[in-house]
Amino acid sequence: MKYLPDIYKKNIFDVNYKKLKDKGIKCLIFDLDNTLTKIDSLEVDKKTLKLITNLKKDFIVLIVSNSPKKRVKIFLNKLNIDGYSFSLKPSIRTLKKIKEKYNLSSKSIAIIGDQFITDMGYGYKGKITKIFVDPIAIKDLKITNVNRFFENKIMSRYNKLNKFKKGKYYE
Ligand SMILES: [Mg+2]
């Protein structure tokens, strides 16, 4: 069950970051689209800005997104954090760079995202903590719709095994 999240929460605000810190997590990798913001938004809402600002006191906070540089850069600037665009998740090429740059082990990194195939796939491949959140909005990118098709199949398989149910949050 490679896509099975370690933690599943409704959104980024419901994640118990204190617990993650106590567990030895030092770096939080956030997905951008439908995790931090809607796909068609160029704004960071106040609540998100406040959360990220606070998290930066305790963690290395990064964005790893498959979206183009032009879009990702806007959010990196607004949140004043480091990150990667065009990252081709579930490829973990960015994770290798992150581990080297910040001298981190897999054990001390968590990914937070709204997709099984890309985000949880990245977490599985990189052997890092996988945190799944519901997408902020229903609207997805076209490419994401393809992933969602497979995601739904995987989810129903996990559901039959009593491992995962949409909306049944756990940690
Ligand atoms: Mg996303």
CATH code of the domain covering residue 39: 3.40.50.1000
With respect to residue 98, please indicate whether it lies within any of the assigned structural domains: yes
With respect to residue 169, please indicate whether it lies within any of the assigned structural domains: no
DSSP conformational letter for 149:
H
With respect to residue 168, please indicate whether it lies within any of the assigned structural domains: no
With respect to residue 166, please indicate whether it lies within any of the assigned structural domains: no
Sheet holding 7-9, edge to edge: 7-9, 129-133, 109-113, 27-30, 60-64, 82-84
With respect to residue 20, please indicate whether it lies within any of the assigned structural domains: yes
Share of the chain above pLDDT 70, in %: 100
With respect to residue 136, please indicate whether it lies within any of the assigned structural domains: yes
With respect to residue 165, please indicate whether it lies within any of the assigned structural domains: no
> Which residue do the tokens 């290395």 mark?
60
State the pTM of this model: 0.96
Give distance in angstroms: CA of 114 to centre of ligand 1: 5
What residues are neighbours of ligand 1 (ion), with CB under 5 Å? 31, 33-35, 114
pLDDT at 140: 77
* Domain extent for 109: 7-160
In 3D space, the residue among 89, 131, 88 whose CA is nearest the CA of residue 111 turns out to be 131
The domain total for the chain is 1
pLDDT tier, 145 (very low <50, low <70, confident <90, very high otherwise): confident
- Residue 13: CA atoms inside 13 Å, Cβ hemisphere, count? 9
pLDDT at 142: 75
Give distance in angstroms: CA of 113 to centre of ligand 1: 6
For residue range 43-94, what is the model confidence (pLDDT) as tens digits? Answer: 999 999 999 999 999 999 999 999 999 999 999 999 999 999 999 999 999 9
